[in-house]
Amino acid sequence: MAHDLLPCQTPRLPPSHPGDSSSMWTAMLLLEVMIYGSYSTLVNLSEEDGHLPYSSASVILLIEVAKFVISFCLYFGEMQRDQFQMPKLAPAALVSYAVPAVLYAFNNNISLLMNQQMDPTTYQVLNNMKIATTALLYRFIIKRPIKRPQWVAICLLMVAGVCDSYGGYDSGSTPGSSSHIFITLPGLLMMTLYCSVSGVAAVYTEYILKKQLTMSLHVQNMLLYSYGFLLNLAAFVWQRRQTGGEVRGGLLAGFSLTTLVIIITQAFNGLIMSVVMKHGSNLTRLFIISGAMLVSTLSSVLFLGTTINAYFLLAAFIVSGAVYLYHQ
């Protein structure tokens, strides 16, 4: 498997590479940092009495629909402009897009639940553990070497995670309470699983997007989001059956203005990340995750009144140093 992946690591980018317009590329990355960093705060703002008043599957389902519609519109405009034809794909190529769709469907749903088990700032700090899982997968699957400073950075991320978890661990904390730094044991376990799955999904997605570099990114996105739609539709139906039809209002039950903002911002989050993975790399994605930590902290303090403790500040300092070392 490693030999199949290696040629995709230094692809020849098409002329339309976003880097050709550095200001547009930079603006897009800054927008992504804002979106990524505000996610956990928005989820907390959408809660009622520490619980999500809506179905997590319904939110993810509508995000997938929004991403598909936007991708279709962009590709339709591309066909009109350049007279492109819809590409013919082999069955194996079609099936390959189901793998990241399953992984992202799982992670997108669990991320909503995780926000009830920790405050937004802890969520964003521990989210940096994706750097470690992604780096290790690059090393053992793609055989990309990891330099000594990067190994040190990975170890520092582990220390930061332990530090922040120790300072915020509260087995008796009320779920959804975000006025102070806290994390529960289920939240810590979910975050570990989330970061592991995220690493696998990110490496595999970059691989399939770059393997077919000449194919329109919008077509690739439509394939991914089609699977995402079907998976989350099934999850929504299953959740409805579990409640015995007690939830009223259908797909939009429990929605608020904040929920709609989550759907819109996360739709653009997915679209921008796909551009980054096809025309950039997972290293750029990890920069975004790290930068989002500051946005999440500031938004939590401003909108949720979160009180920052010394353990969190120490963890944030260690994470910043680890990110600097990793990208040297």
Contact 221, 271 (CB under 8 A): yes
Taking the CB of residue 137, how many other CB atoms lie within 10 A of it?
A: 19
pLDDT digits (tens, 9 = 90+) for 67-112: 999 999 998 877 776 655 666 777 777 888 899 889 998 988 888 8
Mean residue pLDDT of the chain comes to 78
Q: Residue 305 in 3-state DSSP?
A: coil
What pLDDT score does 12 carry?
39
Which of 71-85, 126-140, 160-174, 256-270 has the lowest average pLDDT?
A: 160-174
| pLDDT level of residue 34 (50, 70, 90 thresholds) | very high
Over residues 267-281, mean pLDDT: 87
Taking the CB of residue 308, how many other CB atoms lie within 10 A of it?
A: 15
Over residues 168-196, mean pLDDT: 71
What pLDDT score does 4 carry?
35
What pLDDT score does 5 carry?
34
Nearest-5° angle of CA 163, CA 43, CA 291?
50
Q: Residue 183 in 3-state DSSP?
A: strand
What pLDDT score does 319 carry?
75
Which of 64-73, 114-123, 131-140, 201-210 is modeled with the greatest confidence?
64-73
Taking the CB of residue 97, how many other CB atoms lie within 10 A of it?
A: 21
Which of 160-164, 311-315, 316-320 has the lowest average pLDDT?
A: 160-164
Over residues 145-163, mean pLDDT: 76
Check residue 81 and give left, alpha or beta (phi > 0: left; psi -120 to 50: alpha).
alpha
Over residues 8-13, mean pLDDT: 38
pLDDT digits (tens, 9 = 90+) for 216-255: 888 899 999 999 999 999 988 887 777 665 555 678 888 9
Q: Name, in order, each residue with C-beta under 8 angstroms of 222's C-beta and a sequence gap of 6 or more.
A: 68, 71, 72, 75
What pLDDT score does 303 carry?
84
CA distance 148 to 80: 50
The pair of structure tokens assigned to 277 is 């993975």
Proportion of the chain above pLDDT 70, given as a percent: 79
- 283 or 270: whose pLDDT is higher? 270
Q: Is the pTM of this model over 0.85?
A: no
Question: Which residue type does 16 have?
Answer: S
Backbone angles phi, psi at 275, to 5 degrees: -65, -45
Of 91, 156, 165, 81, the C-alpha closest to 123 is: 165
Helix ranges (DSSP H) in 83-128: 91-96, 98-114, 120-127
Over residues 299-326, mean pLDDT: 78
pLDDT surpasses 90 at 212: no
What pLDDT score does 35 carry?
94
| pLDDT level of residue 11 (50, 70, 90 thresholds) | very low
The pair of structure tokens assigned to 52 is 């999500």
Over residues 254-280, mean pLDDT: 91
Which of 23-27, 163-167, 184-188 has the lowest average pLDDT?
A: 163-167
| Domain residue limits, the chain | 38-326
pLDDT surpasses 70 at 45: yes
pLDDT surpasses 80 at 135: no
What burial class does residue 253 get, using C-beta atoms within 10 Å of its C-beta: 0-12 exposed, 13-18 middle, 19+ buried?
middle
Of 51, 39, 57, the C-alpha closest to 250 is: 57
Contact 266, 65 (CB under 8 A): no
Q: What is the dihedral of CA 25, 27, 29, 34, to 10 degrees?
A: -170
CB-based contacts of 203-207 (< 8 A; 24+ apart in sequence): 203/134, 203/137, 203/138, 203/141, 203/142, 203/282, 204/99, 204/100, 204/103, 205/100, 205/274, 205/277, 206/8, 206/277, 206/278, 206/281, 206/282, 207/5, 207/8
Partners of residue 51 on adjacent β-strands? 48
- 274 or 135: whose pLDDT is higher? 274
Question: Which residue type does 314 have?
Answer: L
What pLDDT score does 29 carry?
85
